[in-house]
Amino acid sequence: MGPNVEDWDLMAQGDKNEGGDNPPYMSSFTKQLLGWLNYDSFPLSFGSHWINSLDTSNLHDDIKWYEINENERYILEVRTNDENYTKWDRSAPLDALVLYKVTLKDQEPIAVNIPGYTGPCYLGSCAIVLADAVLKPGIDETYRDWHNLVKFTAKNVRATLEPEKKYEIEAQIEQFNNFERRIKGLVLKTAGKVNYIIRNIESFSFIAPEGKYSLPDLDLHAYTDDGRHVGINYSTGEYEVGIPGAIFSGDLHNDIEWIFIPSDINGVHFIVSSTDTQEFLINYPEVLSVTDGKEMYEVYARIIDPQGVITSDAVIQEIEAGSLLEHPISIEGNNIRVDSGIDADSDHDGAPYLRDNCPNINNTDQLDTDGDGTGDACDNCPDIANPDQADINNNGIGNLCEPDSTPPTIGISGCPQAVNLGASASITVTVTDSESGVAYQSESNGTKLLDTSIVGTKTFTVTARDNRGNEATNNCTYQVIYDFLGAGGFQPPVDDPPITNTAKAGSSVPVKWQLPNGNGGFISDLGAVISIKFQQMACSNFANTLTDPVETTATGNTGLRYDFTSNQYVYNWQTSKIWAGKCYTLNLTLNDGSRYQANFSLK
């Protein structure tokens, strides 16, 4: 497929036009209007035909054409920029077979004088369009008419300089009734009612304005659920093709349009738009006295795959100027159906609901200052991007625009003072902000497990920030300790308080304990013990406590060791005979920050 029609006629640009000094040649239908060429008396049939180029054709030679039916025909012409065969077409973009689609409207005469046709082509009495068909020869480039199921192929080149200069391209015309992959789509046939009415207003004279302008027309569009689009973009004037694998006619004014999509793409919506008609009525309000812009059209759905073609019954519909109507397609097995049109633009702003950034508010400009996908007309925070449109207090002002000087509230419940090594412990985090809402929190709301893998002081910190930048922090500080008491505290022969241990002064007292590691074993590292200290106490402090004699040894080595047989720490406390009648407290300090004591009375 090649360049647009603007490359192929006298006033065209051409990619070698040299600033207007080297325009391409006149098209075949322009030459016919001047009487230089004539349309062949008989249309082409299916098969292969050699088409001579315009620049090597002689005066009054025939223009070749193919008839689809009494209202639809194709003009076939050949162009070459080869300097050996052209003087005028050197600025043409490429050597090509060019197809023009001619469609008769309302049985009115048209300009191109194909046999049986006479008279002017004015404001839609006919449509002459480049059918997106500029076919390069030698590579079997093909154009398909997906409505009439006719295929045109540019085959070979035949060029001679003697005895007669000719540059010809072989055009093959054939019917097709299948396709290599399964596609589904919609075909739109516009009646041209509005154009016909306007054309017959004697007092109205249409003068095309400078720049972009619209004539009464219907357009076919396809949208996916995620907003991909095939169809004309009314803002840019470009034909968008955002759905992979789409097959389309392009924007053909007042003519038959089609869009087909691979059948495995779901969520496709086909929409007919009367935007161009509304734009024309706005620019030329004087025609409102004879037409309200309502147009008639016909649509049908079609499946094409390697097995053949399946076509639905047609739906005939009326559409108001500026309206968008969606035609749902349903497929069940080898059956396809298209439904009557339903409103696809409930707010009547020209943007279909699938692409309307304010689907319930008329905003023709679709202005979106902050670029968050929600139009200013319905954005609860139009100057700050907030795609989620969060409004925590439902006052119509988005969280990001809410006045707020109060930081979020961070709640932590269930924070323990101490937890045993390896034990399971958790807290509950709740972060709220009733004004502008929470924008960030380091921990999500809910239950959080605490780290108990290593002894010592631990801190679980939660920070949060609201949508106005106010920040807050809250902590859970806890101690991970050995399960000293769970392991029995001080082991025999020493008892824990409130028992007062009694021993003979001068004896060696074996002080024993265990430190579970939380995994079913025991800690054996002597570094777990920070210190063992004894402090003399008044015996009256122990006067009302129970006593328990300690089994002591007469001799022993004072010091700390670990007994791997019994999985115990052992500290032999060597007392002195001169301590008789005195009382002492033994203080054991561990590296988890805990301290335990045992009370002694020496006799």
54-109: pLDDT as tens digits = 889 999 999 999 999 888 889 999 999 888 888 777 777 788 898 888 876 554 43
Rg from Cα positions in the chain: 46
The pLDDT of residue 441 is above 70: yes
Residues of the chain with CATH 2.60.40.10: 409-481
The span from the CA of 135 to the CA of 153, in Å, is 7
The pLDDT of residue 561 is above 60: yes
Question: Which candidate, 550, 559, 500, places its Cα nearest to that of 529?
Answer: 559
The pLDDT of residue 10 is above 70: no
Mean pLDDT, residues 510-539: 93
- Go through 566-575 and write b for each residue having 16 or more CB atoms within 10 A of its CB, e for each that does not: eebbbbbbeb
- On whether the pTM is more than 0.75, the answer is no
Sheet holding 568-574, edge to edge: 508-513, 568-574, 559-563
The pLDDT of residue 1 is above 60: no
The pLDDT of residue 199 is above 80: no
The per-residue pLDDT for 231 is 94
The span from the CA of 126 to the CA of 35, in Å, is 20
The pLDDT of residue 545 is above 70: no
Q: Supply the DSSP string of 405-435, one letter for each residue.
A: -SPPEEEEE---SEEETT---EEEEEEE-SS
Name the residue with higher pLDDT: 1 or 536: 536
For 500-602, CATH gives: 2.60.40
Q: What's the gap between Cα 519 and its chain centre?
A: 49
* First CA to last CA distance, the chain: 113
Token digits for 61? 């030679």
CATH 3.40.640.10 fits 409-481, yes or no: no
| Percent over 70 (pLDDT), the chain | 86
Residue in this structure with the two tokens 């290599």, named with its chain if needed: 180
The span from the CA of 17 to the CA of 369, in Å, is 41
The per-residue pLDDT for 337 is 95
